[in-house]
Amino acid sequence: MTPDDESPTPPPSLPPGARPLTERVSKLRARFRSDFFSVVPEDLENYGKDWSGVLEPAPSAIAFPRSTLEVSDLLRACTELGLPVVPSGGRTGLSGGAVAARGEVVLSLEKMNRMGEVDLASFTLEVEAGAITEAVHEHAKKVRLTWPVDFASKGSSQVGGNLSTNAGGVRVIRYGLTRNWVLGLTVVTMDGEILRLNGALEKNNTGIDLRQVFIGSEGTLGVITEATLKLSPLPDDERTRVCLFAVPDFTSVLELFSRARTGPFLISAFETFSDPCLQEVVASGLRSPFTTRDAGAYVLLECEERDVESMEAWLGEVLSARHGEKELVLDAVMAQSSRERAEFWALREQIAEAILSRGETHQQDLSVPLARLGEFFAGIEPRYRSAYPDFSVFIFGHIGDGNLHIFIRKPDTLESAEFHRLCAESDIGLFELCEANQGSVSAEHGIGLLKKPALRYSRTPEELAYCRALKQVFDPRGLLNPGKIL
Ligand SMILES: Cc1cc2nc3c(=O)[nH]c(=O)nc-3n(C[C@H](O)[C@H](O)[C@H](O)COP(=O)(O)OP(=O)(O)OC[C@H]3O[C@@H](n4cnc5c(N)ncnc54)[C@H](O)[C@@H]3O)c2cc1C
């Protein structure tokens, strides 16, 4: 895959009289212990890329620091030698944010994955940034708590990556974004300065909150090395229900959503996917509980019920409801066991992986205010159907957050370059539609390299100028994650 951005970003500025990259990398390696770096070809390949598959990875070395102090030493040394650095988490990003394609040093947080004891009075947990998201869940679960940052890539993504992308996911409708679930951050700047921001304070009204500047900045301003996470009580398992609905079309999804909003339960996820998405996960080996072939879309609802009777009454109502000329719901199933719950969730969670693993794919991740979702969606599918009839289009997302993922598979008949040219062309209309509906061109996957050309549809030139000024403050030589976002 190639990035949409046709104009390559200029390399970061080097010190006057800078020596060739290989020489500077050798000098860097000589300053650290022998197992601090890897230059093994498989490591250079693996750690130089992310899930976006964008660009050929070509880092010069992979660094594996084991503490905040070591990160500080590394960044200071890289600054002295004028070496660009790419912070790297679980590399599950879908926008090329962790890609190192121009001889950068990759800073992997992988060896910094220690987790402390859960503080049961304050519901907090101190972790290093390389802790795997799912490992944090498992750790907190032992004391019936959770870190409610949850999505399909949680088995590989890291806390540092989640914070740097301000990740969303399947439970945003109930808990909000990652930003809401962190109290303190330790961040190292490119000149090796260690900033300890906010500690474990819930309340701290002492002016500008620098923590928030680093969250979501995709490793362009500083490297997050430690965090104090906020935890939440685990939802009541006995009362948790997972239901799947087969509905005629996307407008029925929205009608079902507005009925669920006022239903007798607390929604923890309201996800949707189109029929081609279901067919894709079924082709990858999962079983669909539905026999109907008339459904255009599906909904996964997870909620905590108040009581069985009111939940059943609500289900009875929506099952007999009509939406315009059609039935609102064509079929519905409620999971009867935890195994069935996991099976239903797998149908939703494995969509991205199933699509990405079965061919070259172009993807977008857009959001619009909920009130605009119907209009926005109505504009998407017909465009592809008329202008690009050969494209296989997969639409799924987090409806409660107004967030749709649109994945397009390359038809066999098209060469890769032509496919990406057509995608870039079709994206313009999509971004304009998004802009017209006051939406965002990247709901949760960040900007990285891939979404750079789209940024102007969601951020004004004035805002971008302030973002550039902020980058100058923290990284004046442009050595940290160069070419990403801005
Ligand atoms: C199957 C699948 C499903 C997904 N579903 C979702 C979803 O529902 N919601 C969602 O939000 N995302 C989703 N993603 C995207 C991705 O998993 C998230 O963006 C995740 O938060 C990235 O974490 P990571 O550790 O893999 O980060 P990486 O991909 O390694 O890095 C992401 C960015 O953060 C920077 N970075 C990483 N670690 C640090 C650090 N310690 N300090 C500073 N910068 C750092 C990198 O340089 C890069 O710019 C999905 C991805 C896949 C493959």
* Residue 481 included in any domain: no
Last residue of a domain, one of 336, 352, 368: 352
Q: Residue 165 Cα, ligand 1 centroid: separation in angstroms? A: 6
Determine the Cα–Cα distance for residues 236 and 224; give it in Å rounded to an integer: 33
Atom of ligand 1 nearest to the CA of 162: 21
Domain co-membership, 104 together with 32: yes
Phi-psi region of 198 (alpha: psi -120 to 50; beta: other; left: phi over 0): left
Domain end position, chosen among 316, 333, 352: 352
Find the 92 Cα to ligand 1 centroid distance in Å.
5
For the entire predicted model, the pTM comes to 0.93
φ and ψ at residue 95, rounded to 5 degrees: -120, 10
Pocket test for ligand 1, best of 62, 88, 128 (most atoms within 8 A of CB): 88
Count of the separate structural domains present in the chain = 4
| Domain assignment present for 35 | yes
Let me know if residue 12 belongs to a domain. Answer: no
229 and 241 housed in the same domain = no
144 with 204, same domain: the answer is yes
Do residues 442 and 335 both lie within one domain?
Answer: no
Q: What is the pLDDT of residue 4?
A: 38
Q: What's the CATH code of the domain at 374?
A: 3.30.70.2740
Same domain as 374, residue 393: yes
* The pLDDT of residue 412: 92
Looking at the domain assignment, is residue 483 inside a domain? no
In a domain, 11, yes or no: no
| Co-location of 132 and 228 in the same domain | yes
Q: Which of 71, 113, 137, 157 for mutating ligand 1's site (highest number of atoms within 8 Å of CB)?
A: 157
Mean pLDDT by 10 residues, the chain (486 residues): 38 57 96 97 97 89 98 98 98 96 97 98 98 98 98 96 96 97 98 97 97 98 98 95 97 96 96 96 96 93 95 97 94 96 97 92 94 90 84 93 94 93 92 95 96 95 97 98 96
- Closest C-alpha residue for ligand 1 atom 9: 169
Tally of residues, the chain = 486
pLDDT at 9: 46
The reply to whether 106 falls in a domain is: yes
Helix or strand (DSSP H, E) at 80? helix 68-81
Residue 89 near ligand 1, beta carbon < 6 Å: yes
Same domain assignment for residues 137 and 224: yes
- 393 and 310 together in one domain: no
Q: Is 185 in the pocket of ligand 1 (CB under 6 A)?
A: no
How many other C-beta atoms can be found within 10 angstroms of the C-beta atom of residue 157?
24
Cα–ligand 1 centroid distance for 220 (angstroms): 14
Angle, CA 271 vertex, CA 349 and CA 52 arms, to 5°: 45
Adjacency order of strands within the sheet including 194-197: 124-128, 223-230, 182-188, 194-197
The verdict on 228 and 246 lying in the same domain is no
Distance of CA 235 to the CA centre of its chain: 23
With a 6 A CB cut-off, is 91 part of the ligand 1 pocket? yes
Whether 248 lines ligand 1, by a CB cut-off of 6 Å, is no
Phi, psi of 485 (to 5 degrees): 65, -65
pLDDT at residue number 400: 87
H, E, C per residue of 228-282: EEECEECCCHHHEEEEEEEECCHHHHHHHHHHHHCCCEEEEEEEEEEHHHHHHHH
Q: Which amino acid is at 354?
A: A
State the closest ligand 1 atom to the C-alpha of 398, by its place in the atom list counted from 1: 8
| The ligand 1 atom nearest the CA atom of 218 | 49
**87 in ligand 1 pocket by Cβ < 6 Å?**
yes
**How many A from CA of 158 to the centre of ligand 1?**
7
CB 281 within 8 A of CB 354: yes
Q: State how far the Cα of 235 lies from the Cα of 144, in Å rounded to an integer.
A: 9
Domain at 345, CATH number? 3.30.70.2190
Is residue 286 located within the same domain as residue 319? yes
9 occurs within a structural domain: no
Q: Which of the listed residues 9, 54, 106, 151 should we mutate to test ligand 1's pocket, taking the one with most ligand atoms within 8 A of CB?
A: 151
Which pLDDT score, from 0 to 100, does residue 18 have?
A: 63
Q: Check the CA dihedral 379-389-349-309 and report its sign.
A: positive
Residue 16 within any structural domain of the chain: no
Measuring CA to CA, which residue among 53, 60, 117 is closest to residue 86?
Answer: 60
Q: Are residues 135 and 197 in the same domain?
A: yes
Atom 18, ligand 1: residue with shortest CA distance? 93
Q: How many angstroms separate the alpha carbon of residue 163 from the centre of ligand 1?
A: 8
Domain end, chosen from 174, 207, 233, is at 233
Q: Do residues 97 and 44 share a domain? A: yes
Q: How far, in Å, CA of 234 to CA of 140, rounded?
A: 9
Q: 219 is in which domain, residue-wise?
A: 124-233
Smallest CA separation from ligand 1 atom 50, residue: 153
